[in-house]
A and B are shown apart, each in its own frame.
Chain A
Amino acid sequence: MTPSERLKTGRPSVFHTSRRRFLATTAMGLVALSASGARARVLFGTGLPWDSGAIEPPRQVLPGPWIFFTAREAELVEAIAERLIPADDLSISGKDAGCAVFIDRQLSGHYGSSERLYMKGPFQPGLPTQGDQSGLTPAVRYRQGLKALDAHCRQTMGGKSFTDLSPEQKDQLLTAMEKDEVKFDGPVSAVSFFGQILQNTMEGFFADPVYGGNRDMVSWKMIGFPGTRYDYRDHVLKHNQNYTLPPVSIGGRSDWARKG
């Protein structure tokens, strides 16, 4: 088992208990507020409540079928991630690090749907200082942006799709998008789509491997970030000296046990 699989297999029923168990078993004077089943909680007089089932660890993302992307979309995103973060002597590529898997899973969750954001109208254009007012969710941006990118390539690159381009041609197009020198059809501009995919690719490359990117903590090893380590007291006063312990992810690292 790889460390990244640990969370999945190493998470048996102990923590599968729900927060509801709290209501049933706590010794903490906890009651439902009304007979109509209000979920609001009342606590009084009996100290801090305790429920080990109240933890909410992340779930390990594993490579596998695409959840949000179509096969074609995924191919495009992987091709872009491979150019934004190319394989070289410093690291594997963004594609091989799992950035597209990361983005796929993010888009299929609350991030993709903007469900935590303020999405009430009226939607009206604002000033740059007022932030994005488009009302487009990241999921829609990808769907529309990838479609527009493909169409743009076929129209301007002699019928070729983005994935057919040479690395240099891909870089040229991405550079033009970044500089707002390309016009996309549809609601998503080339420059904003570039910004979106650059941001998400970097998130995937640098986030904890539990989210599907940053395979084997490749980016952390590249820059020297020790990950989820929580205690540097021994090194605080070792000024200007390299830190030598390897990085740790939420799923652990290879020096942990291999078998569950």
Chain B
Amino acid sequence: MARKLPRKDVVVIGLGWTGSIIANELCDEGLDVVALERGPWRDTATDFNIGYAPDELRYNVRQELMLRPAQETVTARNNADQTALPMRHFGSFHPGNGVGGAGVHWAGITWRFSPADFRLRSHYTERYGAQSIPEDMTIQDWGLTYEDMEPYYDRFEYLAGVSGKAGNLNGQMQEGGNPFEGARQREYPNPPMMQTYGPTLFAETAAKMGYKPFPIPSSLLSRTYTNPLGVTMGQCTFCGFCTNYGCANYSKASAQTTVLPVLMRKSNFELRTLCEVLKVNLDSSGKKATGVTYIDTSGNEYEQPADLVILCAFMLDNVRLMLLSGIGTPYDHRAGTGTLGRNFCYQMANQVVGFFDPAKYNFNNFIGGGATGMAIDEFNNDNFDHGPLGFLGGGSTRCAPIGAEPISRRPTPPGSPTWGSGWKKAVRDSYLSNLSVGCEASSYANRGNFLDLDPTYTDRLGRPLMRITFDFPENDLKMSDYVTRKVAEIVRAMGAQQIDENPRTGHWSVVPYQSTHVVGGTAMGMDPSTSVVNPYLQSWDVPNVFTVGANVFPQNSGYNPTGTVGALAFRAADAIRSRYLKSPGPLVHA
């Protein structure tokens, strides 16, 4: 029997990037906010202590900062005819856990999606005709425009201290920036990062080939910076321990380094760690949330009444909580009815490794960071003519030296031995003279890809696991093949002796790590028949429930998602502050 606690104005589920942004904004509105975080408290000097933060075995290989599958995992299958089986070990993606969430161990690449992304179906229909979109491709518009998002992108970039170079300032193209980006109201808050040898060579070669290289927008900071909340962050030292690690010197933007110092001072904010929400409670009408039920580590259950419930957990958990709570209509892929769980998408991660002459090239790959490097956008989104190509979408191409921890990142040329003296020589020769160029590409929604609750496997509390039914659509595989060949041309032109091309091929596998950019499942939009939340991230069915995360993407762009997730958090908070509180109820009438 759950013990009933005193009412709060707002309960925020999960204290990562979105939870901390929303909680801070709503506290500023004077609301009493409680955040329930499933994982532990985490802080820089203790949990990311500089003496042991750079520990590859512990953090990258054994995944210490990630959610433990023993606590919760997912089941997976490629199509509805297969039996889904649990991911016993997180391979393909790494959900975060604890205060700061996946924002603790992210790489820091901070894009804005392109103007076309937000009206994707309309855009392709206008440019190539409705028949260009395959019948089973369920891409759709977001119900807002890039212009609607711009002020919120700006807020997130200034919160995080993003280091970069504008390509389009209020419509004026800027030398050295991304020529394909939407207009931005002002420069990035910080200048671009310094560049190591690899990205420099990539950019020189790309420029010679007629492309327009620009620095990757980075939430690793190029200089000391104090954000609009008054929180100071440090200068990135290129240690190369970003992705899968916490940052030890306050130079990677995260909830810890941008929001929490301010939020934790507020007397109307309360954080409860190691508390896992079981479900959102609804009243008898099913149209109003009354709060949440959660459980602590002693197994005690509590009911936390609240007027507003905001789901800010990792996207898979947001979708799962809505399924477990009965908020929205589950998607039925056969009938094509329902929306909850629909349009689950991923990110097509493609890579080309070049092996250069070790006598002439030393890239010092260990010098880097998750978001350092140079990029081109010629093969992203609809920046190139898809007319003759037979597929839609693309990806951002970049040379980003994220570090070179040797258990995981010591590629050898194809055909090298995997052990013995021959292997050793290959590793020694390649370690400093190989260079990766990746293409992080779009993932477009497909009728057969979706999320629902698994009928067999349960978590430690007996609740059904989330079931992922997903495979790479033919469109995306064609796109991967195309962009990877384009990337390989550049790497060859850079002077690589040997090339290892790795476009995404075949069926999706849970085994190798690809990307944690899983998106969708509670798509946003203006049409309740194809979306779960409206463009303010408010549930169509239960208007005092909002959800903020990549779960609201209708499909994925050829960019990393965090910049857009952060902007959506600010936008949702703004809608709650300026409109919802004045008149609680639906912000959009269907």
Residues on A facing B (Cβ under 8 Å): 33-34, 36-49, 51-52, 54-58, 83-86, 88, 90-91, 110-111, 114-120, 122, 124, 126-133, 171, 174, 178, 198, 202-203, 206-208, 210-211, 219-220, 222-233, 235-237, 239-243, 250
Q: Which residues of A contact B509 (CB under 8 A)?
A: 128-131
Q: A116-B69, A240-B197 are in contact. List 4 more A-B contacts (CB 8 A).
A: A114-B88, A229-B54, A230-B249, A243-B366
CB distance from B370 to the nearest CB of A (A): 14
B237 touches A230 (CB 8 A): yes
Contact residues in A for B300 (Cβ distance below 8 Å): 33-34, 36, 38
Could you tell me if A132 and B86 are in contact, using CB atoms closer than 8 angstroms?
no
Contacts A128-B509, A131-B511 given; does A222 touch B428 at CB 8 Å: yes
Query: Could you mark each residue 249-266 of chain B with 1 if its beta carbon is under 8 Å from any beta carbon of chain A, else 0?
Result: 100000000001100111
Task: Please tell me if the beta carbons of B261 and A236 are within 8 angstroms of each other in the complex.
Answer: no
Interface string of B353-365 (1 = CB under 8 A from A): 0000000011110
Cα distance, A36 to B298, chains bound together (Å):
8
Report the interface size class on chain B: 35 or more
Whether A111 contacts B88 in the complex (CB less than 8 A), given A55-B46, A243-B364, comes out as no
**Residues of B contacting A210 with CB < 8 Å?**
55
Chain B residues with a Cβ under 8 A of chain A: 3, 41, 43, 46-47, 49-58, 61-62, 68-70, 73, 76-78, 82-83, 85-89, 91, 194-197, 200, 235, 237-241, 248-249, 260-261, 264-275, 296-298, 300, 361-364, 366-367, 404-407, 410, 418-421, 424-425, 427-428, 431-432, 456-458, 460, 507-511
Find A117's partner among B53, B69, B427 (CB 8 Å cutoff). Answer: B69
CB distance B406 to A129 under 8 Å?
A: no
**Whole-angstrom CA separation of A52 from B367 in the bound complex:** 30
Cβ contacts under 8 Å, A226 to chain B? 366
Residues of A contacting B260 with CB < 8 Å? 48
Rounded to whole angstroms, the CA-CA distance of A55 and B41 in the bound complex is 12
Chain A residues near B3 (CB, 8 Å)? Answer: 34
How near does chain B come to A141, taking the closest CB pair, in angstroms? 14
Q: Which residues of A contact B265 (CB under 8 A)?
A: 45-47
Cβ of B192 to closest chain A Cβ, rounded Å: 12
A43 and B273 alpha carbons, distance in the complex (Å): 8
Given A39-B274, A132-B88, A224-B431 contact (CB < 8 Å)? yes
Instruction: Find out whether the CB atom of B421 lies under 8 angstroms from the CB atom of A225.
Output: no
Closest to B55 in A: A208
A49 touching B511, Cβ below 8 Å = no
Give every chain A residue within 8 A of B249 (Cβ-Cβ). Answer: 230
A-B contacts, 13 of them at CB < 8 A, read A34-B300, A42-B272, A45-B269, A129-B511, A203-B61, A206-B406, A211-B57, A222-B427, A223-B406, A233-B194, A233-B238, A239-B200, A240-B197
Q: Which residues of B contact A45 (CB under 8 A)?
A: 264-270
Known interface pairs A117-B89, A206-B407, A223-B431; A40-B70 also in contact (CB < 8 Å) = no
Cα-based distance from A126 to B75 in the complex (angstroms):
11
Whether A38 touches B296, Cβ cut-off 8 Å, given contacts A43-B41, A117-B69, A230-B237, is: yes
Q: How far is the CA of A171 from the CA of B417 in the complex (A)?
A: 12
Closest CB pairs A-B (n = 4): A239-B197, A40-B296, A45-B267, A118-B69
Q: Find chain A residues with CB under 8 A from B405 CB.
A: 225
Contact check, B458 vs A120: say whether CB atoms are below 8 A apart.
yes
Instruction: Provide the residues of chain B in CB contact with A56, threshold 8 Å.
Output: 47
Residue of A nearest to B241 (CB): A230
> Would B238 and A232 count as touching, CB distance under 8 A?
yes
Contact A54 B424 (CB under 8 A): no
Could you tell me if A84 and B270 are in contact, using CB atoms closer than 8 angstroms?
no
Name the CB-closest residue of A to B44.
A48
Give complex CA distance A203, B362 in Å.
24
Residues of A with C-beta under 8 A to B194? 233, 236-237
In the bound assembly, the distance between CA atoms of A110 and B61 in angstroms comes to 13
8 Å CB contact of A44 from B83, B269, B296: B269
Structural contact, A57 and B52, CB atoms closer than 8 A: yes
- Report whether B88 and A118 are in contact in the complex, using a CB–CB cutoff of 8 Å: yes
Please state if A41 and B68 are interface contacts (CB–CB under 8 Å).
Answer: no
Q: What's the Cα separation between A135 and B511 when bound, in Å?
A: 15
